């Protein structure tokens, strides 16, 4: 018995000495992070105080608040629903950190709209500051066009934009001149390339990294088709269903930079129709329809790079099935939202052979975006940085999480007509847990 007791005591002593070291080593290798989550909506999106409380992120389910209820810090970013990715990135910067939107002197002069926009209090004013744990970063979760916006946003944060600095300060300004311009508000810090390492990860859900052929067909057909074939048609649907007759209904186009603002006592619907008829839509590439086209996406992909210090993740969606006799794809009535059927049929048969790449492989879609476009940027790239996610993510590459079959464009954000996503909140909780383990 004495020998047994001695053995137990010896083993206990050894474990007591070894376990703290083992635990310390594990903690050092897997410290994780508690960076806030920023949700970035897509084309036609809206803020939490719009559409009578029907949420972009979740519909009747509140993804933001559900994540907050289990301890995560989550904010919903709000940008122009039909603005270009450049304008949206500038708006997102001001919306997160606080201050007045600066669209850039060079950009605003090139496209003929106001340089400055709205002023925001800021979702996360400490963003980019340093404490004992290092830089206060963010994770970005984006949907649809939000993925393009997030990529361009990360590019500006990391590398700035030389043309904007030159427009304000001329060639080869000193660091002191740059700092002074930032301080006095004549140059946005976003354009200076001094916001390095402010983003830990970018995730895109069903994003048109290479554009969508739906936008191609809209651009060819004019504004009237565009009204029904893009998320803008949702505003008309709100009218049909009576949603916009509710007292607290609002849908903000956020086109102040173009001089378009809602008049006193003007309904959202009438303002939208007036805005749609504006001449400003003609002949400009500074709007979402161009950026969402394969041509616009290609142009953006040529200068927006995958940053080597950022994790990129992507999810693809598909809710079509191949026809019996042809390669054409048709909406799967069991899973596709019926409101997306017209879009899906167009994309399921659209062949433009733009740059000799848009063939039948572009037919599978989720009702708004071609599935092939959702894993990461390829058009216009000399190097494609897309890899299948194997449990160990790589920075500077698009870690593709796979295709969610039988899932349409809005299922993944909870605005669903099917139960294919299952436990949506569980999906988001598990995913954010993974991000905070990076």
d(CA 34, CA 71): 10
Q: HEC string of the chain?
A: CHHHHHHHHHHHHHHHHHHHHHHHHHHHHCCCCCCCEEEECCCCCCCCCCHHHCECCCECCCHHHHHHHCCCCEEEECCCCCECHHHHHHHHHHHHHCEEEECCHHHHHHHCCCCEEEEECCCCCCCCCEECCEECCEEEEEECHHHHHHHHHHHHHHHCCHHHHHHHHCCCCCHHHHHHHHHHCCCCHHHCCCCCCCEEEEEEECCCCCCCHHHHHHHHHCHHHHHHHCCCHHHHHHHHHCHHHCCCCCCCCCEHHHCECCCCCCCHHHHHHHHHCCHHHCCCCCEHHHHHCHHHHHHHHCCCCCCCCCEEEEEEEECEEECCCCCCEEECCCCCCHHHHHHHHHHCCCCCCHHHCCCHHHCCECCCCEHHHCCCCCCCCCCCCEEECCCCCCECCEEEEEEEECCCCCHHHCCCCCCCCCCHHHHHHHHHHHHCCC
**Candidates 366, 375, 408, 411; catalytic one:** 366
Is residue 256 flagged as an active site residue? no
Is 41 marked active-site?
Answer: no
Q: Check 83, 84, 142, 144 and give the catalytic one.
A: 144
Q: Is 83 a catalytic residue?
A: no
Find the distance separating the first CA and the last CA of the chain, reported in whole Å: 49
Pairing of strands 99-102, 320-322: unpaired
Out of 139, 143, 400, 409, pick the active-site residue.
Answer: 409
Vertex 243: Cα angle to 121 and 411 (nearest 5): 75
Give catalytic residues, as residue numbers: 144, 366, 409
């Amino acid at each position: 018995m004495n020998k047994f007791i001695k053995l137990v005591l010896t083993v206990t002593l050894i474990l007591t000495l070894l376990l703290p070291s083992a635990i310390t080593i594990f903690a050092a290798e897997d410290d994780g992070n508690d960076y806030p989550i920023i949700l970035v909506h897509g084309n036609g999106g809206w803020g939490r105080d719009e559409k009578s409380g029907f949420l972009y992120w979740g519909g009747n389910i509140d993804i933001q608040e559900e994540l907050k209820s289990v301890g995560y810090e989550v904010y919903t970013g709000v940008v122009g629903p039909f603005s270009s990715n450049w304008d949206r990135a500038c708006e997102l910067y001001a919306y997160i950190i606080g201050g007045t939107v600066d669209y850039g002197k060079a950009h605003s002069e090139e496209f003929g709209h106001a340089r400055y926009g709205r002023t925001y209090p800021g979702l996360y004013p400490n963003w980019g500051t340093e404490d004992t744990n290092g830089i206060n970063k963010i994770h970005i979760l984006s949907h649809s066009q939000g993925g393009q916006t997030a990529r361009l946003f990360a590019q500006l944060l990391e590398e700035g934009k030389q043309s904007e600095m030159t427009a304000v300060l001329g060639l080869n300004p000193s660091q002191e001149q740059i700092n002074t311009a930032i301080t006095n508000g004549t140059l946005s810090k976003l354009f200076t390339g001094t916001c390095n390492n402010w983003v830990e990860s970018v995730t895109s859900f069903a994003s048109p990294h290479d554009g969508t052929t739906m936008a191609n067909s809209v651009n060819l057909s004019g504004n009237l088709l565009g009204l029904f074939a893009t998320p803008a048609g949702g505003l008309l649907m709100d009218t049909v269903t009576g949603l916009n007759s509710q007292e607290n209904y609002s849908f903000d186009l956020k086109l102040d930079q173009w001089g378009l603002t809602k008049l006193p006592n003007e309904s959202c619907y009438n303002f939208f129709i007036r805005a749609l008829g504006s001449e400003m839509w003609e002949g400009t590439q500074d709007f979402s329809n161009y950026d969402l086209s394969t041509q616009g996406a290609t142009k953006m992909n040529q200068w927006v790079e995958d940053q080597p210090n950022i994790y990129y993740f992507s999810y693809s969606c598909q809710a079509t099935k191949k026809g019996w006799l042809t390669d054409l794809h048709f909406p799967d009535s069991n899973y596709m939202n019926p409101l997306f059927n017209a879009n899906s049929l167009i994309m399921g048969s659209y062949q433009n052979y733009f740059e000799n790449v848009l063939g039948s492989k572009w037919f599978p879609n989720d009702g708004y975006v071609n599935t092939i476009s959702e894993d990461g940027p390829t058009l216009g790239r000399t190097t494609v940085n897309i890899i299948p996610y194997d449990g160990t993510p790589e920075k500077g590459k698009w870690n593709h999480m796979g295709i969610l079959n039988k899932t349409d464009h809005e299922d993944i954000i909870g605005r669903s007509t099917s139960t294919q996503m299952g436990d949506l909140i569980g999906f988001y909780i598990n995913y954010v847990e993974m991000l905070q383990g990076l």
